[in-house]
């Protein structure tokens, strides 16, 4: 079985964006408002996209969350963010209900800059307990590129982490769009968010406080595996424990790295137990690589072309996901 | 001959930091103040550090600039930044005068958040014309982690670029310290700065406007080579030219990547013409890698252990530097 741990609903029916547009035009409106999308519309939005690609590439299940760029925590206010998150998460729930073999749900959280993460707990709990979600996305920078909130290792975040541990769900550390003209969203802000979070983890005792807390750092861990020697050396200079002991019991990288050499490096330097298969389809890079004739984001090909043993491939494609997402229960087939 | 294009004067005599401390305690003081350091103190600061390491590792020349973390453009004001830059650059000049075979000078610029880069031109011109410097360091984020100034591709920067082209000097894109608690300086802010700058270059026509402008992106290009497929794919999705055409006539990566697998990836995906040897000694990572028994930052070992041909090694160690730093004229020996 092949589990893709990183997919967003980037192809949602246009009514979703229209709702968001109306909402942001009037952020003072306390009413949640309705979102009308039919089951057929949902089916249509997936059949030609994520489901087709699952079939074509031979993957089985996508751990699926709302569009990351769409979270837009820097837009609107705490109330708009809550309503928006509820609608987005409900839509993911409908996807998972329509296609229980193909998708498992992960929620976005109703974050806002300056708003305590504990205010996201109610939505996390609703998604996990009522909607059967198996994880959440945590935005380390709700300001959208200004990085004005405390680091992920600050006690500011601890109430949310307590709930994550209680519910036994991991978080993918995933920024949303950037409103800072310095940062291209998918080309800089995403990757910087990943690198930044990892370095925050190295310099803190977060995982002493929460030994069971689990984070997935997407996009192959940002810059981290490429600079693995730097991170090992920095930890050593700071008299911290080796990275394996310091963070690798709690931190996982996905395989959203869109060329063979990058995947080969990831598989070489990071222990296989810490790598989860992912492609982020349909996502940031949609074209065909003229050097290979295949889609850049067809990451399964890179894994298959690597020198991993069959046992290690099984861990990467399925076994590790079962450990990281303990609430995931495969449905039938 | 082996040229290390990335070294900072991290071992300067303590009088330098004492000057800075006094200066920042009284940023309203318009007086520049004196810095008293003897030639013997300079010799002593280098003999046991950079010069010893050059001898031990068999490198010949270091392209040398003031301590990057020390630039602190976010501290003080425009006047303190100018005085501080002048002192730091004068000290580099003295180093290069004492050891002309071992060091070639690169200046820091007197940047400040919100201050136009054209105000740095006078110091750049002084360093190049009067002190014989061969390049400069440009901080893409003078705010120290708040990224509040325009991107490097904004016309805000153009007067500085015009002068760089006129003087025929390249810039290394190098942030300084971070005053944002989200960003560890050498572990996150440095690498993010590199990644961010590259993505800015991809999305702009900067190099159409300045075909002769040259940037070195240090720390192995941040996350870029590891995500080379992502960047190729993003450019393609945006209907931009291939990266080779779009940026590789103007952008170079150094080899400050502190493990073999990282260097191997860099050498594999980036054309050899775009890579400059560097170690950033004495720099961010100072320990010995227990996996190899050698210093993490002894990057020459990784290059030597790679499968590069002798001709390519010559380009990387020397030939490319001659092209990127046309003002550099080897002294004797």
Task: Give the per-residue pLDDT at A27.
Answer: 87
Question: Would you give the end-to-end CA distance of chain B in angstroms?
Answer: 10
- Rounded to a whole number, what is the distance in Å from the CA of A205 to chain B's nearest CA? 15
CB B60 within 8 A of CB B300: no
What pLDDT digit, counting tens, does each position of A177-222 carry? 999 999 999 999 999 999 999 999 999 999 999 999 999 999 999 9
* Contacts of A299 by beta carbon, 8 Å cutoff, 6+ apart: A255, A256, A257, A258, A263, A277, A278, A279
Report how far residue A31's alpha carbon sits from residue A28's, in angstroms, rounded to the nearest whole number. Answer: 9
Give the nearest partner residue to A237 out of B183, B257, B287, using CB atoms: B287
Residues of A in contact with B188 (CB under 8 A): 192, 195-196, 199-200
DSSP string, B93-136: HHHHHH-TTTEEEEEE----TTS-GGGGHHHHHIIIIIT---EE
Residue in B188, B265, B268 closest to A196 by CB: B188
Beta-bridge mates of residue B250: none
Which chain A positions have a beta carbon within 8 Å of B280's beta carbon?
none
Of B182, B186, B258, the CB nearest to A196: B182
Beta-bridged to residue B4, according to DSSP, are: B62
Residues of chain B contacting A195 with CB distance shorter than 8 Å: 188, 191-192, 195, 223
Strands of the sheet containing A215-217, edge to edge, are A3-9, A61-66, A103-108, A135-138, A171-173, A215-217, A251-254, A275-276
- Residues B81, B109: contact at Cβ < 8 Å? no
Nearest residue in chain B measured CA to CA from A181: B151
Check pLDDT > 90 for residue A332. Answer: no
Q: Which H or E element spans position A136?
A: strand A135-138
pLDDT (tens place) for every residue of chain B, 333 residues total: 999 999 999 999 999 999 999 999 998 888 999 999 999 999 999 999 999 999 999 999 999 999 999 999 999 999 999 999 999 999 999 999 999 999 999 999 999 999 999 999 999 999 999 999 999 999 999 999 999 999 999 999 999 999 999 999 999 999 999 999 999 999 999 999 999 999 999 999 999 999 999 999 999 999 999 999 999 999 999 999 999 999 999 999 999 999 999 999 999 999 999 999 999 999 999 999 999 999 999 999 999 999 999 999 999 999 999 999 999 987 754
Q: Which of A310, A231, A294, A309 is nearest to A258 (CA)?
A: A294
Q: What is the pLDDT of residue B333?
A: 46
Question: Residue A330: pLDDT band by 50, 70, 90 thresholds?
Answer: confident
Distance of alpha carbon B103 from alpha carbon B98, whole angstroms = 9
Which residue, B171, B170, B140, B172, is CA-closest to B156?
Answer: B140
Q: Is 60 exceeded by the pLDDT of residue A333?
A: no
Confidence of residue A226 (pLDDT cuts 50, 70, 90): very high
Mind telling me the catalytic residues of B?
280
3-state SS string over A220-247?
HHCCCCCCHHHHHHHHHHCCCCCHHHHC
Q: What is the pLDDT of residue A329?
A: 87
Chain B residues whose beta carbon lies within 8 Å of the beta carbon of residue A228: 259, 261-262
Contacts of B275 (CB under 8 A, 6+ apart): B252, B253, B254, B255, B266, B267, B316, B320
Average pLDDT, integer, range A50-67: 98
**Cβ–Cβ < 8 Å for B76, B27:** yes
What pLDDT is stored for residue A279 in this prediction?
Answer: 98
Q: Min CA distance, A193 vs chain B (Å)?
A: 9
Is the Cβ pair B262, A265 closer than 8 Å? yes
A280-309 mean pLDDT: 97
What are the tokens at A150?
């405390």
A191:B289 CB<8 A = no
Cβ neighbours for B209, distance < 8 A, ≥ 6 positions apart: B158
**Candidate from B192, B233, B259 with C-beta closest to A196:** B192
Residue A288: is its pLDDT beyond 50?
yes
Q: How many contacts, defined by CB atoms under 8 Å, are there between A and B? A: 195
- ipTM beyond cut 0.90: yes
Say if residue A156's pLDDT is above 70: yes
């Amino acid at each position: 079985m092949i589990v893709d741990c990183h997919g967003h609903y980037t192809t949602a029916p246009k009514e979703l964006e229209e709702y968001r547009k109306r909402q942001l035009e009037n952020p003072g409106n306390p009413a949640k408002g309705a979102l009308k999308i039919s089951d057929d519309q949902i089916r249509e939005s997936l059949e030609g996209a994520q489901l087709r690609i699952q079939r074509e590439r031979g993957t089985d299940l996508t751990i699926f969350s709302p569009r990351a760029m769409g979270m837009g925590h820097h837009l609107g206010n705490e109330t708009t963010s809550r309503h928006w998150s509820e609608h987005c998460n409900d839509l993911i729930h409908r996807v998972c209900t329509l296609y229980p073999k193909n998708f498992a749900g992960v929620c976005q959280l109703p974050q806002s800059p300056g708003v305590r993460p504990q205010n996201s707990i109610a939505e996390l709990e609703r998604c996990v307990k009522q909607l059967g979600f198996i994880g959440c996305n945590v935005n380390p920078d709700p300001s959208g590129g200004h990085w004005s909130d405390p680091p992920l290792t600050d006690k500011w975040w601890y109430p949310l982490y307590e709930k994550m541990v209680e519910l036994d769900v991991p978080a993918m550390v995933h920024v949303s769009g950037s409103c800072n003209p310095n940062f291209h969203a998918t080309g800089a802000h995403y990757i910087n968010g990943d690198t930044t979070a990892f370095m925050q983890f190295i310099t803190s005792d977060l995982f002493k406080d929460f030994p069971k807390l689990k984070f997935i750092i997407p996009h192959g861990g940002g810059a981290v595996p490429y600079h693995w020697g730097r991170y090992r050396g920095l930890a050593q200079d700071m008299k911290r424990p080796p990275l394996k002991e310091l963070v690798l019991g709690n931190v996982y990288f996905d395989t959203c790295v869109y060329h063979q050499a990058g995947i080969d490096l990831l598989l070489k330097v990071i222990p296989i137990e810490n790598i989860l298969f992912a492609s982020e389809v349909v996502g940031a890079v949609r074209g065909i690589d003229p050097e290979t004739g295949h889609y850049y984001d067809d990451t399964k090909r890179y894994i298959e072309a690597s020198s991993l043993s069959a046992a290690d491939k099984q861990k990467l494609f399925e076994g590790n996901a079962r450990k990281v997402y303990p609430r995931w229960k495969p449905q039938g087939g």
